[in-house]
């Protein structure tokens, strides 16, 4: 039996139909269903809370929206990050923000964190490339189940956080596991270990 190709839609159609539905994002016109589990949401929420603590502590003009889409201009792609830190001072330059929570410029984004699920290839490959092109300065890949390929997290395949820092137009990656202290350019005073984040889903014992 021959399977028919998935129906492709453009970004505007996606935003109209699925903008309020957190279960979908769009990659190259193809509707991608996101299937977050309870532990996945626990890790996302914990990460967002810890980043908000730093934002408050240093009185920074940043915030982490509950719902946000990233529309890649000139493409049929719209990502829905698990955690995103936005710069409030840049939102005046966002053409869609006043009507809907859609970001089109990397200048508005300070940090993105993706919590890895079964479609881990998108987080480790596709989004690394697209977020770098967009100019996102810091990108965290939180692999709390150790799902990523060996070329990304090593042969031991253990829970890992990869922090990607944008140098010119490419990401430099640093891996964090166990009790390693996370190193963030955006939050240099962050006191947080990989294990604290990775265990938020109840899969690692501290």
Average of pLDDT values for 49-67? 97
Confidence of residue 6 (pLDDT cuts 50, 70, 90): low
Average pLDDT over residues 14-34: 91
| pLDDT of res. 28 | 94
Give pTM, 2 decimals.
0.93
Statement: residue 1 has pLDDT above 80: no
Give tens-digit pLDDT for 60-97: 999 999 999 999 999 999 999 999 999 999 999 999 99
**Average pLDDT value for the chain:** 93
pLDDT in tens, 111-146: 999 999 888 999 999 999 999 999 999 999 999 999
Diameter over CA atoms, the chain: 59
Q: Is 73 exposed, middle or buried (0-12, 13-18, 19+ CB in 10 A)?
A: exposed
Distance CA 62, CA 79 (A): 20
pLDDT at residue 4, rounded to an integer? 52
CA distance 130 to 10: 17
Give the per-residue SS3 of 47-87. HHHHHHHHHHHCCCCEECCCCCEEEECCCCEEECCCEEEEE
């Amino acid at each position: 039996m021959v399977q028919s190709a998935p129906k492709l839609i453009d970004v505007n159609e996606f935003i109209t139909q699925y903008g309020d539905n957190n279960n979908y994002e769009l990659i190259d016109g193809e509707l991608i269903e996101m299937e977050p589990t309870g532990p996945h949401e626990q890790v996302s929420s914990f990460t967002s809370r810890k980043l908000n603590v730093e934002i408050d502590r240093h009185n920074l003009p940043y915030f982490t929206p509950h719902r946000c889409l990233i529309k890649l201009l000139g493409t049929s792609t719209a990502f829905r990050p698990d955690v995103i830190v936005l710069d409030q001072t840049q939102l005046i330059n966002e053409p869609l923000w006043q009507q809907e929570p859609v970001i089109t410029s990397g200048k508005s984004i300070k940090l993105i964190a993706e919590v890895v699920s079964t479609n881990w290839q998108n987080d480790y490959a596709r989004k690394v490339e697209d977020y770098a092109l967009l100019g996102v300065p810091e990108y965290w890949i939180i692999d709390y189940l150790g799902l990523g390929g060996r070329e990304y997290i090593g042969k031991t395949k253990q829970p890992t956080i990869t922090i990607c820092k944008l140098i010119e137009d490419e990401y430099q990656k640093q891996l964090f596991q166990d009790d390693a202290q996370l190193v963030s350019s955006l939050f240099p005073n962050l006191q947080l270990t990989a294990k604290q984040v990775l265990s938020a889903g109840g899969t690692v014992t501290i």
